[in-house]
Amino acid sequence: MKILLLMLLTLASLTVHALPEQIVLIRHAEKMTGKDPELTPQGQQRAQRLATLLAPLNPKKLFSTDYHRTRQTLAPLSAATSVPVQMYNPKALADFAKQLKNDSGTIVVAGHSNTTPELIKLLSGHTVSIHEDEFDKVFIVSWKEGKAILEKRHSNEGKAQ
Instruction: Tell me the per-residue pLDDT of 120-153, one tens digit each, with 9 for 90 and over.
Output: 999 999 999 999 999 999 999 999 998 999 999 9
Range with the poorest average pLDDT among 4-8, 46-50, 105-109, 121-125 = 4-8
For helices 115-124 and 93-101, angle between their N-to-C axes, nearest 10 degrees: 50
Mean pLDDT of the residues in the chain: 90
Question: What whole-number distance in Å separates Cα of residue 81 and Cα of residue 62?
Answer: 10
Confirm if 58 and 20 have CB atoms less than 8 A apart. no
Q: What is the pTM of this model?
A: 0.87
15 to each of 9, 10, 18, how far by Cα in Å?
12, 10, 9
How many CB atoms within 10 Å of residue 150? 16
